[in-house]
Amino acid sequence: MNPLRPRSKVRIWISALAVATVASSITVAVQSSKSVQAATSPSGAVDANIFVNLAKKIVPSVVNISTLSKVQSPYGRGGQDDPFRKFFEDFLRQHGGGNGGGNRGRPFEAEPDDEDQGSSQPGDPNASGPLAMSLGTGFIIDASGLILTNNHVVAGADEIKIHFTEATDEKPTDGEVVGRDPELDLALIKVKSKRTLVPVALGDSGALEVGEYVIAVGNPFGQGHSVTHGIISAKERMAPDFQLANYLQTDAPINPGNSGGPLVNLKGEVIGINNAIDQRAQGIGFAIPINLVKEVLPQLRSKGTVARGYIGVLVNELSPDVAQKLGFAKDLKAPFVTHVYPGEPAEKAGLKPYDVILEFNRKKITSSAELVSAVTSVPVNEAAPMKISRAGKEMELSIKVALRPGAQPTGKPESKKDSKEKRQARVKTGMELENLTPEMARELGMADKISGIIVMDLAYGGPADKAGIMRGDVILEVDRKAVKDVDAFYSVVKEKKTYLLRVRRADPMGREMFSVVVLDLK
């Protein structure tokens, strides 16, 4: 299981057993050097009420979100073996939970309260089958009634209720999703209210530095508006579940129900949206940088969806060993191509594996994250220049950006032994190899005509293990030459020296990945 996962709102299953399930969200916090100056008086004394004043400014613009939806199983997504379900179910059995509104702190009961009964519409507790109530957070970005939150907070909801306060006499306001961006995990909600809605100010997450303070406002366990604070622990953390997001990392306290809440700097500007935690640790939370959000907001407002550019290529970061093997300086910072999808824009433009990407659309590229950002910022169907280095020679290509397709799931690699194949054990590589059969290829989510060899077993601490090769990897090339079977592999790998391997694997989510590693047999 991938330990890094987006943690959604508190989820309560309303059924005969009143089983509770919860997924969580993040609270995060940040502070800038400029903000520190703003928090001090001319004499240099720290303003002791800085967080008090920030809370008074931000909390009125934050809302508690509850949703109701039909479910197929009393255990919902993940099934009864889902560790997230087990963790939060145990918590709610001991502590009850709240509903984010006037009944704050009261345990959920087997019978729904008045707020949840409604009419015989979708989400009616009297309808057949169990129902799921979910809790999360959002914040106002426009006085007309636009609220920003995480997509996973409202995904699959039949009803969305917005609570502006914890007042016992407040009647929740209906919310409607008007825009979704699942890839960045964003949702835009529209509400109609006679209240005076005060939007937050959106800051500049690119100006953040590690160590800056922030506050985070959320709806932990349905308790209602709560404020926490901490620092930015790191920037540009990769997100396995959301490849387009490079997270802000924070050590702020986090609790279930905070998903979609704002991360705010000391100037009172939102610089992130709380989104995920590392379940293995305390004080490791993640937020979506607000600059990424600002890039897609215009499309979410006008179209309700986001169209992103796509060129059909996979890349890795250059390591010193790979850079040297490809003939580049060890300290070169740039992504290089590990796979080009047939028929896609990259192939049509002439891009090839091992090409090093230096610029895209006249922007210098030093990492795969920068390449993704540059590609997705180009309007679909427009051409952009790309500067690459191939075998030490710089050249410029023109590439027409296509519409980014939906994620295509791939099979999880499983080791299947073929007793008819004789394993080759020539030069000791520290791995056991088999020919890739059409059946294996289909199970791995690959075209059944693709040839290669699959890693069946590894010797702990051996050359292949040290190179980062894993069981289930498919080796496609050795020293830039395709290998069709085990014999072809060992016809090249027959001396105790270093070799460049191009490898295909599936990540923990089942998505296809390609890597280039150096196998050192010396």
Indicate which residues carry an active-site annotation: 152, 185, 259
Distance of alpha carbon 179 from alpha carbon 147, whole angstroms: 10
Please tell me the distance from the alpha carbon of residue 225 to that of residue 217, in angstroms, as a whole number.
7
Radius of gyration of the chain (CA): 26
Q: Are strands 159-163 and 201-202 parallel, antiparallel or unpaired?
A: unpaired
What tokens were used for 253?
């306290």
Q: Is 274 exposed, middle or buried (0-12, 13-18, 19+ CB in 10 A)?
A: buried
Cα torsion through 162, 165, 171, 174, rounded to 10: -10
**Residue 251 to residue 210: CA distance in whole angstroms:** 11
Asked if residues 35 and 83 have their Cβ atoms less than 8 Å apart, the reply is: no
Task: Name 442's bridge partners.
Answer: none
Q: Residue 511 has which token pair?
A: 């998505």
> Which contacts of 106-109 are long-range, i.e. CB under 8 A and separated by 24 or more positions?
108/12, 108/14, 108/18, 108/20, 108/133, 109/18
Strands 453-458 and 431-435: antiparallel
Q: What angle do CA 470, 476, 482 make, to 5 degrees?
A: 150
Residue (of 244, 278, 243, 272) closest to 260 by Cα position: 272
Picking from 427, 422, 423, 495, the residue whose alpha carbon sits closest to that of residue 462 is: 427
Contact 453, 433 (CB under 8 A): yes
Cα 521 from chain centroid (whole Å):
36
DSSP character string of 312-324: -EEEEEPPHHHHH
Q: How far apart are CA 68 and CA 77, in angstroms?
A: 15
| DSSP-based three-state secondary structure for 115 | helix
Q: How far apart are the first and last CA of the chain?
A: 35
Strands (E), 401-459: 402-403, 431-435, 453-458
CB crowding 42-55: b at 16 or more within 10 Å, else e: eeeeeeeebbeebb
Give the whole-angstrom CA distance, residue 424 versus residue 494.
11
